[in-house]
Amino acid sequence: MIVIVNYGVGNLGSIENMIKKAGAKAEISSDVKTIEYAEKLVLPGVGAFDNGMQHLTDSGLIPILTKKVIEEKTPLLGICLGMQLMGVKSEEGKLSGLGWIDAEAIKFRFEPGSKLKVPHMGWNRIYPKQNSYIFNDMYKEPRFYFVHGYYMKCNKVENVLAETHFGSDFSSAIIKDNIVGTQFHPEKSHKFGLKLMQNFIND
Amino acid sequence: MLKTRVIPCLLLKNAGLVKTFKFKDPKYLGDPINTVKIFNDSGVDELTFLDITATIENRRPNFQFLSQIASECFMPLGYGGAIKTFEDIEELLNIGIEKAIINSEAVEKPEFIKEAAEKFGSSTIVISIDVKKSLFGKYEVYTHSGKKATKLDPTEFAKKMEDHGAGELLLNSIDRDGMMKGYDLELLEKVSKAVTIPVIACGGAGNLNDFSEAVSKTHVSAVAAGSLFVFQGPHKAVLINFPTEEELEHIFDK
């Protein structure tokens, strides 16, 4: 069973819909026992960093998630803010992240008068930087749906799974052992997202 | 490179798909679920649904029906129509619709927008601004599906909504709705120049060149259309269609 972690932040329905479409069962849950028995985990999230971190802390789920992800190496997919929370910190907030990946969230900054608007919203290409099961049989010129004002900066190049260009190149997907994070929304990226989700499920 | 989003704007009335002309005379087109499946297969960038009678009939959004739509949608999805409470927005997020499009309530209770943006994040909150041009060329914001004048200037209102934390603006010309004779570029430029959040052009697109014109001549970030994606030919036969990726790349590259 795949468990979508419900800590009060995120667009859970669409993730559940996509996993179903990809041929697996998912349960949205904030229950420690349910998470304990999860075969795979999805950590969603939208909104501000501190708000997300606070909700995650208040949910009381951090100890069980840490046990599952760090000790038991349960595969985890973090999406958007769910990915950023796995880093060390964010320019958006004061709270510390989970610290599972050596990365931090940085604000997009452009010159005044730039044509580029923040948030980075819409469909953009991703360029895989390493071979991973997550891109198995991926369609050519993969593009995904993004909406975010902060991006992840990995301090270790081996954690950069894919890059995307917006002003400059940033890490649009990250990887470390059993952890994958995507800045984009696979659940909103039709055939590309479906393929990625199938890869996550079937690995 | 970030693609310019091209968004079918679909109107709902009693669980049927309709298309209006200057916000009037809704013509029945068919079953929305089938339509969604067609758009899914064509790899559409994003979909917007507006329930055009929810507010005037003073009822809540039809969540059960929206949930059916959302379960078939694997692209960004917005819904507008009688969104008035946090519970409404929460319900939308739960069923998989991540953009709440707010119109009448934004005019009547601007504080609601501020609170909703704080609670759900700006990217969840889209304000739709319906605009009519007077005989003297003055633009005015309307609510309640174009039935209620507000005396508000669209540019001022747009700036206020940006200040309140709205993440996006869906700017719709009532006069151009369903006419397929091109966008009101003057209106688009006035509003999109005044704000830094993305503005989606809506109302009047009749062919793909209207998209590229709006993007190149104004500061809009995305383009929406209704008729263009549901009608075909001079007699407006109903045919759900969406340009291919190559066609879209071609028009925006020019």
Q: Quote the pTM value.
A: 0.93
Is A190 an interface residue toward B (CB < 8 Å)?
yes
Residue A166 pLDDT level (bands cut at 50, 70, 90): very high
Identify any residues that bridge with B201 across adjacent strands, giving them in sequence order. Answer: B171, B223
Q: Flag whether pLDDT at B254 surpasses 70.
A: no
Say if residue A63 is preceded by a cis peptide, omega within 30 of 0.
Answer: no
Mean pLDDT along residues B2-22 = 95
* Residue found under tokens 């009608």: B231
- Candidates B3, B71, B74; nearest CB to A122: B3
pLDDT given for residue B157 in this prediction? 98
Q: What is the pLDDT of residue A47?
A: 82
Least confident of A67-71, B42-46, B119-123, B170-174: B119-123
- Please report the pLDDT score of residue A95 as a whole number: 97
> Looking at A109-123, B13-27, B168-182, which range is the least confident one?
A109-123
Q: Which chain A residues are within 8 Å of B122, Cβ to Cβ?
A: 119
Going by C-beta distance under 8 Å and a sequence separation of 6 or more, which residues neighbour residue A156? Answer: A102
Computed over every residue of chain B, the mean pLDDT equals 95
pLDDT in tens, A32-86: 999 999 999 999 998 889 999 999 999 999 999 999 999 999 999 999 999 999 9
Nearest to B120 among A47, A119, A188 (CB): A47
**Length of chain A (residues):** 203
Using the predicted structure, report yes or no on whether residue A28 has a pLDDT greater than 90.
yes
What DSSP string describes B137-149?
S-EEEEETTTTEE
Is some CB atom of chain B closer than 8 A to the CB atom of A92? no
CA distance B25 to chain A (A): 33
Model ipTM value: 0.89
Measured between beta carbons, which residues in chain A are less than 8 angstroms from residue B222?
122
pLDDT at B120 over 80: yes
| Paired strand residues for B222 | B5, B200
Looking at residue A114, its pLDDT comes to 74
Q: What is the largest CA-CA distance in chain B?
A: 47
The DSSP output letter for B71 is: T
Q: Is the pLDDT of residue A118 over 90?
A: no
Share of chain A above pLDDT 70, in %: 100
pLDDT at A11: 77
Residues of A in contact with B168 (CB under 8 A): 121
Task: Indicate which residues of B carry an active-site annotation.
Answer: 130
pLDDT given for residue A10 in this prediction:
75
Q: How far apart (Å, rounded) are the C-alpha atoms in residues B44 and B6?
A: 8
CB contact under 8 A, A190 and B74: yes
- Of A108, A114, A118, A145, which to mutate for an interface test with B (greatest number of B Cβ within 10 Å)? A145
Chain B CB contacts of A121 under 8 Å are: 5, 123, 168, 198, 221
Could you give phi then psi for residue B248, rounded to 5 degrees?
-70, -45
**Per-residue model confidence as pLDDT tens digits over B58-98:** 999 999 999 999 998 999 999 999 999 999 999 999 899 99
